[in-house]
Amino acid sequence: MAISLADRRLSPPVLLAPLAGITDLPFRNLVTRFGAGLVVSEMVASQEMVEAKPSVRARAELGFGAANTAVQLAGREAHWMAEAARMAEAGGARIIDINMGCPAKKVTTGLSGSALMRDLDHALSLIEAVVGAVNVPVTLKTRLGWDESCLNAADLARRAEDAGVQMITIHGRTRCQFYKGAADWDAIRAVGQAVRIPVIANGDITDSASAREAMDRSGADGVMVGRGAQGRPWALAQIAHDLFGAPAPQIPHGAALAQMIVDHYEAMLSFYGLDLGLRVARKHLGWYLEGADPALRREVLTATDPAHVIRSVTQALPELAAA
């Protein structure tokens, strides 16, 4: 099973969600190596992107030129959204994704992200500006609505399709739910019934069982995995195998797992530099080492010498195998 966006083919239809501070370039590269139909860059503010004129490193971080990467833009003004989309396309972006789902207060206070669901006319003006600015496929990520009294995802999806959006991802919560409660996969079905373009289900999809249930209940064409990939970069490939018959991933164990963790750690240090890299790496190391001896895990997460960290990761493996 695959999803076609113009000349792009997303196969398998298992996508990595954008997670601020987590799905950076080193992590997306790792997930891609195991197998994913699409990975999405961390959200970037459109005006800031244009005015800052992305550096070479920033362009790499956003995934310009990567065949299986969508560059996700956020904003509240059509001019800046269009300019950022043009810049991304000129840099090599293959897909532009519009964020209308972020629930963070610092985003919605600026009338971006999921705040746009309170004003669909304005939301549509941003969509039209982006679609009109580029020749690459444009996709949209959003939520069920602002709150329980404003469940308008199907209306937004219908209008977005008419404006030229080629795929929509729906997180099965409202903005006011943030990440509380359970994602309502059943409610996503109304979006799929409202449009002809592919619909992707998102929210609480962590493994093959939850992915299958989300697909069944939502009627979606694919799934997007976010937090379920933390510490498990092979999770998307496993879902793709179990649901869509993709090749089975080679899930690392023992020395292979240690080498994967070390390679990811060194990639983060190389990309960010030592000081920032050490801080960014801690969250990933923490997820990898869940189940390890607490004292050893604490030692890894507080160490500032990369060689010490690498030795401790290798030492932690017997603990992980027994967990």
Average pLDDT, consecutive stretches of 10 residues, N- to C-terminus, the chain (323 residues): 86 94 93 94 90 69 80 95 94 93 84 89 97 98 91 97 98 90 96 97 97 98 96 97 95 87 94 91 92 83 90 70 44
Within this chain, do residues 208 and 168 fall inside the same structural domain, yes or no?
A: yes
Comparing C-alpha atoms, which of 73, 131, 137 is closest to residue 101? Answer: 73
Question: Rounded to two decimals, what is the model's pTM?
Answer: 0.93
Q: Does residue 249 lie within any of the structural domains?
A: no
Domain boundary among 244, 274, 291: 244
Q: Does the annotation mark 102 as catalytic? A: yes
Within this chain, do residues 218 and 291 fall inside the same structural domain, yes or no?
A: no
Of 17, 98, 102, 281, the catalytic one is 102
Amino acid residing at 16: L
Within this chain, do residues 124 and 236 fall inside the same structural domain, yes or no?
A: yes
Contacts of 150 (CB under 8 A, 6+ apart): 117, 118, 174
Within this chain, do residues 281 and 136 fall inside the same structural domain, yes or no?
A: no
Within this chain, do residues 191 and 301 fall inside the same structural domain, yes or no?
A: no
Q: Does residue 273 lie within any of the structural domains?
A: yes
Within this chain, do residues 93 and 235 fall inside the same structural domain, yes or no?
A: yes
pLDDT in the model for residue 179: 86
Within this chain, do residues 285 and 174 fall inside the same structural domain, yes or no?
A: no
Contact call for residues 172 and 144 (beta carbons, < 8 A) = yes
| Domain span including residue 224 | 3-244
Within this chain, do residues 106 and 169 fall inside the same structural domain, yes or no?
A: yes
Domain boundary among 208, 224, 244: 244
Cα→Cα distances 162→40, 97, 121, 175, 187, Å: 23, 16, 13, 24, 21
Q: How far apart are CA 243 and CA 223, in angstroms?
A: 10
pLDDT in the model for residue 323: 44
Within this chain, do residues 200 and 313 fall inside the same structural domain, yes or no?
A: no
CATH number, domain of 128, equals 3.20.20.70
Q: Which residues pair with 199 in a beta bridge?
A: 168
Within this chain, do residues 203 and 271 fall inside the same structural domain, yes or no?
A: no
